[in-house]
Amino acid sequence: MLPRVLTPIVITLSVALLGAQSAPAPTNFPPKVAKAAVPKDTGPGDLPAGITAQRAGPNAWFVTLSLAGRPDARSVHIAGDFNGWIRDGAPMQRDADGVWRGTVRMQEGERLYKFVVNGAEWIPDPANPERVSDQQGGFNSVLRLGADIALDPSRAKLGAHRCARAAARSVGAEVSRAGG
């Protein structure tokens, strides 16, 4: 048996819970949202000067890199995360114009690479301004390939949360300032 003081509280809570369970579910929730679709072949993305790419298969590209301004070079190779950073894994050829060119197969995504000149000098691509530290006092060149690169969340625009907030209001939901 409950003490007299608790009886009204228990009755009030019971009525509130029973009333909440019998409320009809909203018919417009969750809202219908169009599926995002990335076209099957949107190209390799924005490439730095001197780099070309052609589709090699699903999620893969044949990428041609070039290195100009090295008349002293006897050999140039491409090393990167796509070939295990092998010093002599992807040879380049010097064309009649003196520019070294080589083609490698790469998977879509962010790829890191360097040129290996004369088997010993590891240099980033001078024509590609995008670089990251190689953790050895130098830099790796960065190449981004494929449609998914455009979906990088770090490139989201300020204010995009307003769309989510408006959609939530249209179905009667609340979106907190911190969460959306």
Q: Tell me the pLDDT band of 147, cut-offs 50, 70 and 90.
A: low
Write down the residue that tokens 């490698």 correspond to: 104
Per the structure, the complete domain to which residue 134 belongs is given by: 52-153
More confident residue, 17 or 178: 17
Task: Count Cβ atoms within 10 A of the Cβ of residue 142 and give its class: 0-12 exposed, 13-18 middle, 19 or more buried.
Answer: middle
Does pLDDT of 11 surpass 60?
no
**Is 25 within a domain?**
no
Q: Which residue type is seen at 45?
A: G
Q: Look at residue 71 in the predicted model and tell me its pLDDT.
A: 92
**Is 63 within a domain?**
yes
Integer Cα distance of 73 and 101 in angstroms: 13
Integer Cα distance of 91 and 78 in angstroms: 6
Integer Cα distance of 170 and 102 in angstroms: 55
pLDDT tens sequence across 90-126: 999 999 999 999 999 999 999 999 999 999 999 999 9
Instruction: Please compute the mean of the pLDDT values over residues 68-75 and round it to a whole number.
Output: 94
**Is 137 within a domain?**
yes
More confident residue, 131 or 160: 131
**Is 170 within a domain?**
no
**Is 4 within a domain?**
no
Integer Cα distance of 31 and 163 in angstroms: 13
Residues present in the chain in total = 180
Q: Look at residue 171 in the predicted model and tell me its pLDDT.
A: 45
Tally: H helices and E strands in the chain? 2, 9
Per-residue buried b or exposed e for 46-71, using 16+ beta carbons within 10 Å of the residue's own CB: ebeebbebeeeeeebbebbbbbeebe
Closest CA to 145 of 56, 35, 61: 61
**Is 102 within a domain?**
yes
CATH number at residue 78: 2.60.40.10
How many domains would you assign to the chain? 1
DSSP conformation class of 9: H
**Is 168 within a domain?**
no
**Is 31 within a domain?**
no
